[in-house]
């Protein structure tokens, strides 16, 4: 309502006699709003202060860090810790920085993303829009699967991947990521496709009748929003995962998170706080980047124009 003044054309001298102004009482900030504002500020600080420390520390030299003033800005900004973390820091006995872990994570991320999203999108589409026998029971089963903790089925999964001959490789990590995210993703896609107007599906069935043609030409172009949501969810989830990576990746296929953990948990020598902070930030950047990149592509109204306004 406060925008009302900006919508009105400016009152010129000739119009002034015609234009009647209706003064409005200014909105006062009430006690309750102040409480909310204070709470939000505290919550923001709660997250921002550690982040601030993380960022400034990563640009400090070790000499300044030893002085102990963790909130002070770096006297001399240096990117030395970042370079060290990326290419020279030791995790265990190998001293090649986070590079290896980064590329491992990338190599795990893409197959897992493609397999999990494409499989669950097609499954969700079939369950939502086609007559599948036992749909209800199947959905209930998926729902249950979504709540099974990974730790319970960890050992059987190891046996399975060993049997498949992929244990200890990137493929094992990607495979487990795909399998474990299928139930939730399928439910998400199914619920999204269920809201597509029934007449639209009927029309497509009469026009084409082909399962794949309808999916590719009609349904997939309407899935932009949910694909972006799922993509963000999966990128964050897969990139930040530690447990699956450390369990199935073995030595050669450890993702970035495992690499980072090995790097910062040294029990001998000095702790290179600045390099550790830089390494942590390096690990956290890719999902953030994806988030900002994809957030722009949200569009409104999947079925705009399909049915009556």
Partner 1 sequence: MPSVSFEHIVKKYGEVKVLSGLNLAIDHSDFLVLLGPSGCGKTTLLNLLAGLVDVSSGRIMIGARDVTELDPKDRGLAMVFQSYALYPTKTVEGNLRFGLSALKLPREEADRRIKWAASLLQLEALMGRKPAQLSGGQRQRVAIGRALVKHADVLLFDEPLSNLDAKLRTEMRLEIKKLHEELKPTVVYVTHDQIEAMTMATKIAVMNGGEIQQFGTPDEVYEQPANLFVAGFIGSPAMNLIEASAVWDGERLSAIAADGLHFDLSGYDYCTRHPSQDQPIIIGMRPEHFVIGEPSSSAACSLQLPVRIVERTGSDAILSLSFGSLLIAVRIEPDRAARLKVGELVTVTYPRTKLNLFDAQSGRRL
- Name the residues that contact partner 1, by CB under 8 A: 197, 199-200, 202-210, 213, 217-218, 221-222, 301-309
**The two structure tokens encoding residue 272:** 């290179």
**Contact by Cβ (8 Å): 132, 198:** no
Sign of torsion over alpha carbons 56, 57, 63, 65 = positive
Q: How far is CA 48 from CA 57, 65, 236, 286, in A?
A: 14, 20, 20, 19
Given the complex with partner 1, which of 9 and 221 has the nearer CB atom?
221
Cβ of 83: how many Cβ atoms within 10 Å? 14
CB of 211 to partner 1, least distance (A): 12
* Cα 11 from chain centroid (whole Å): 49
Q: What 8-state DSSP symbol labels residue 217? A: I
Given the complex with partner 1, which of 130 and 143 has the nearer CB atom?
130
**The two structure tokens encoding residue 95:** 């001293």
Given the complex with partner 1, which of 24 and 194 has the nearer CB atom?
194
Given the complex with partner 1, which of 222 and 266 has the nearer CB atom?
222
CA nearest neighbour of 153 among 216, 59, 247: 247
Given the complex with partner 1, which of 15 and 217 has the nearer CB atom?
217
**Contact by Cβ (8 Å): 86, 99:** yes
CB of 286 to partner 1, least distance (A): 30
CB of 199 to partner 1, least distance (A): 4
Q: 135-145 and 99-129 helices cross at what angle (nearest 10)?
A: 150
CB of 302 to partner 1, least distance (A): 7
CB of 216 to partner 1, least distance (A): 11
CB of 135 to partner 1, least distance (A): 16
Given the complex with partner 1, which of 119 and 200 has the nearer CB atom?
200
CB of 42 to partner 1, least distance (A): 44
CB of 224 to partner 1, least distance (A): 9
Given the complex with partner 1, which of 166 and 204 has the nearer CB atom?
204
Please compute Rg for the chain using Cα positions: 27
Given the complex with partner 1, which of 112 and 223 has the nearer CB atom?
223
Q: How far is CA 211 from CA 37, 193, 206, in A?
A: 52, 14, 12
Length of the chain as a residue count: 309
**The two structure tokens encoding residue 179:** 């399998």
Give the phi and the psi of residue 152 in degrees, each rounded to 5: -65, -40
């Amino acid at each position: 309502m406060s925008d009302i003044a900006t919508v009105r054309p400016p009152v010129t001298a000739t119009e002034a006699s015609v234009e009647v102004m209706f003064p409005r009482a200014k909105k006062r900030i009430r006690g309750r709003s102040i409480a909310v504002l204070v709470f939000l500020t505290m919550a923001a600080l709660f997250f921002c202060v550690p982040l601030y420390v993380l960022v400034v520390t990563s640009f400090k030299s070790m000499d300044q860090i030893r002085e102990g003033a963790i909130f002070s800005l770096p006297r001399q900004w240096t990117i030395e810790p970042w370079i060290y973390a990326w290419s020279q820091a030791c995790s265990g006995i190998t001293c090649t920085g986070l590079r290896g872990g980064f590329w491992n994570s990338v190599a795990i991320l893409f197959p897992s993303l493609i397999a999990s999203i494409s499989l669950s999108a097609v499954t969700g589409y079939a369950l939502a829009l086609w007559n599948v026998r036992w749909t209800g029971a199947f959905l209930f089963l998926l729902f249950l699967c979504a709540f099974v903790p990974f730790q319970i089925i960890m050992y059987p999964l190891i046996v399975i991947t060993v049997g498949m001959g992929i244990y200890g490789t990137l493929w094992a990590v990607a495979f487990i990521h795909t399998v474990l995210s299928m139930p939730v993703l399928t439910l998400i896609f199914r619920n999204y496709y269920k809201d597509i107007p029934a007449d639209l599906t009927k029309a497509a069935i009469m026009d084409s009748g082909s399962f794949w043609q309808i999916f590719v030409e009609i349904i997939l172009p309407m899935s932009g929003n949910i694909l972006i949501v799922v993509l963000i969810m999966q990128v964050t989830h897969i990139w930040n995962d530690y447990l699956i990576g450390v369990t199935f990746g073995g030595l050669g296929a450890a993702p970035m998170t495992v690499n980072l953990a090995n790097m910062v948990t040294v029990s001998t020598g000095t702790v290179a706080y600045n390099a550790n902070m830089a390494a942590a930030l390096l690990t956290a950047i890719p999902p953030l980047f994806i988030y900002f990149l994809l957030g722009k592509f949200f569009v409104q109204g999947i079925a705009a124009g399909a049915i009556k306004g």
